[in-house]
Amino acid sequence: MRPIGKHSSQQTRLNVFYENQASVYDATRGGLLRGRRTMLKLCAAELQRQHRQGRKLVWVDIGGGTGWNIEQMDALLGLENFEAVYLVDLCQPLCKVAEQRFKAKGWPHVHVVCQDASKFTLPTNVGASSGKHADLVTMSYSLSMVDAFYQVIDGVQRLIEPNAGVVGVADFYVSDPRASTGDVGYHCSWLSRLFWQHWFELDHVYLHPSRRSYLEHTFSTIKRFNGRNHFIIPLLVQIPYYVWLGRRSSAKQAPLAGEVPDFALGGKLPTPAASPKGCFLPGTQPAADSSSATSVLQQSPQGYRRLPYDPAKPEHAQFSTYIYGFT
């Protein structure tokens, strides 16, 4: 509730706000910043799936604050698998806490960079194994705090490895009332949108839908989850937050979220010469032939047997009641 006041720059504003709470930041943010560990788990699993054994990775944690994310990733994946890790943050008190943490852990390849994230670039002697690109870029409750979010997202697009790089985000949000997405739990009520957007603006945290919309427009979505944080007063106070994983739009990897190969819908099976393994065109119409979808799925070398559930589609409306037949 402490007023931040007017300051000449964002860095000065952050320093004033966090200078007296940097030492207790992690202890006081565990319940508020939900989804961070989930995002890190998903990123670690995606990196293990895509990257070759023995090759060192490069990770950039934008808005990493005290380094909590990096410490958690060490338990999930092991920092010995990274060639270099960069924590980029504009707040000097939080960066000092991170430096002390990494020094105590004995991680010489983990670097703290106190600067504007929109101006960050990898050093010329780092990332040679991945063409001077980062294999992982994460933003944990920082996208809603940066002023120049367009420049930051564009910078991440240039920074991330084109073919197998992973982008992970966990943050607060309010939904766009005009969006017609079928994501479960995406939409917020009118009162929730109005209250949370203006409440967080008091601390210069901006939840406008344009930030998440531009993120998902720039990158291709791998996974996303919309949740509600009710740690203060359960069922009464519900703060919208999301966890999102994506990659460069030009990358050709596993099917994207909600994307189904045409042979899973009853079309013809692709041949090795027709399409690369694991690459499918989104929105492909199923071929009109007499073979049933069941027989095609049984013959499929990929083993696709499930279709994505979209509550916005009329053909999926019955599922919301039919599923209770299994309870």
Q: Which of 204, 86, 205 minimizes the C-alpha distance to 138? A: 86
pLDDT in tens, the chain (327 residues): 555 556 567 788 788 877 878 888 888 888 889 999 999 999 999 999 887 666 889 999 999 999 999 999 999 999 999 999 999 999 999 999 999 999 999 999 999 999 999 999 998 766 545 467 999 999 999 999 998 999 999 999 999 999 889 999 999 999 998 876 667 889 999 999 999 999 999 888 999 999 999 999 999 999 999 999 988 777 778 999 999 999 998 654 545 555 555 545 555 544 444 444 444 334 444 444 434 444 444 444 455 556 677 777 777 777 767 666 665
Per-residue confidence (pLDDT) for residue 292, from 0 to 100: 40
pTM for the model stands at 0.74
Domains and their CATH numbers in the chain: 10-248 (3.40.50.150), 254-327 (no CATH)
What is residue 20's predicted lDDT score, i.e. its pLDDT? 79
pLDDT of residue 183: 77
What pLDDT does 202 receive?
Answer: 87
Q: What is the pLDDT of residue 131?
A: 60
Q: Say how many residues make up the chain.
A: 327
**pLDDT value, residue 149:** 94
